[in-house]
Amino acid sequence: MDTKQLAALVAVVDRSSFSQAAEQLGVTQPAVSLAIRSLEKRLGCQLIDRSGRVVEPTEAGHVAYRHAQRILGAERDLFRSLEDEGDELTGHLVVGASTGPGERVLPALLGAFHKEYPEVMVSLRVDDTETIVDRILDRQLEFGIVGAERPHRSLVFEPFLRDEVVLVVPTDHAFAGKEIEMRDLLDVQLVVQQEGAGVRTVVERELRAAGVRVRDLNIVAELGLQESAKSAVEAGLGVTFLSRLAVERELDEGRLATATVKGLEAGRLFYAVRSASRPPGRLINSFLQFSRLSLGDKAVFPDETRERPVRGGRVG
């Protein structure tokens, strides 16, 4: 069976969109449509209901989707086993990442890794933390780098990179460069990222632990991921919490400023996450070791953190 057709089916069902599936797979939309039609012809039944505004799998499509996930997972296991056999590092490394590391850290690491191992093809899939974790659970991804832990018996999280969550404000804001009280957050217009974003998860946990109810905050906008929230702050819409990694350039250029919130734990970790049932192969282990050596002081090796971070995402 053509695994490209199966991959197209999985992508369409996951994204509920032919165009977004094509973007995920790095092909054209007509190519995805052709793959689905060919698979339907071979199986002798309709897999995707195209009649409504939202693309949905038929009953047969749900069955085919579950089998496709298992077949694609077996294919990845096969390639990983073959990669581990050779002396030269080869194969296709696919990394899922939340927006913090995905936009500022991993592109450079993957580029350097490919330069060191030219026979390895590298791909990066960027989304919010929850989506990346879900894709690992669904066996669409083998591992990822994310901004918050999500307790689950089927997942293993290992510390990977030190980061800091900062309150980002316009340069002329009254909070710029100052330390503010937790209660001061109740009086400002706050921009937040979408549900599932790692920074939002970490900040909401910290606020709840400090006795601040999220519903009491003056949230004026929920704007996707970090780039959208950052642009909103630059435009003067409000203030927002972001990864320092995501705003280092703007801070250096004087386009944005930060404030410190008293009582709010700023340190956090990014984690390498994978399925507990699938030990990482040689390719992933090589990339993780290469990355940690390349990151220098910002890197965290698993044996450096014997105790688990408190409330998820905090550096103890």
| Predicted confidence (pLDDT) per residue in 22-43, tens digit | 888 888 999 999 999 999 999 9
SS3 58: coil
Question: What pLDDT does residue 81 have?
Answer: 65
Question: What pLDDT does residue 52 have?
Answer: 78
Question: What pLDDT does residue 20 have?
Answer: 87
Does residue 307 register a pLDDT over 70? no
pLDDT-derived band at 316, boundaries 50, 70, 90: very low
Q: Which amino acid is at 246?
A: A
Share of the chain above pLDDT 90, in %: 43
Question: What pLDDT does residue 86 have?
Answer: 57
pLDDT tens profile 222-235: 987 788 889 999 99
Nearest to 197 by CA among 139, 257, 254, 240: 240
Nearest to 161 by CA among 92, 207, 98, 94: 98
For the stretch 74-80, contacts whose Cβ atoms lie closer than 8 Å and that sit 24 or more positions apart, written own/partner, are: 75/3, 76/139, 76/142, 77/278, 80/142, 80/281, 80/282, 80/283
pLDDT tens profile 138-183: 888 889 999 888 888 899 999 998 888 899 999 999 999 999 988 8
- Number of residues in the chain: 316
> Do 1-78 and 163-268 have matching folds?
no
Question: What pLDDT does residue 60 have?
Answer: 94
First-last CA distance in the chain: 49
220-249: burial string, b at 16+ Cβ within 10 Å, e else: eeebebbebbbebbeeebbbbbbbbbbbee
Max mean pLDDT range (117-121, 135-139, 302-306): 117-121
Does residue 214 register a pLDDT over 90? no
Q: What is the mean pLDDT of the chain?
A: 86
pTM of structure: 0.61
pLDDT tens profile 67-107: 998 888 777 777 766 655 556 888 889 999 988 888 888 99
Annotated domain spans of the chain: 1-78, 163-268
Superfamily (CATH) of domain 163-268: Periplasmic binding protein-like II (3.40.190.10)
Nearest to 305 by CA among 261, 268, 266, 263: 268
Please state, in angstroms and rounded to a whole number, the distance separating the CA atoms of residues 168 and 186.
15
pLDDT tens profile 237-272: 999 999 888 888 899 999 999 998 988 877 778 999
Count the neighbouring beta carbons within 10 Å of the beta carbon of residue 273: 26
Region 1-78: CATH code = 1.10.10.10
Question: What pLDDT does residue 176 have?
Answer: 94
Please state, in angstroms and rounded to a whole number, the distance separating the CA atoms of residues 226 and 273.
21
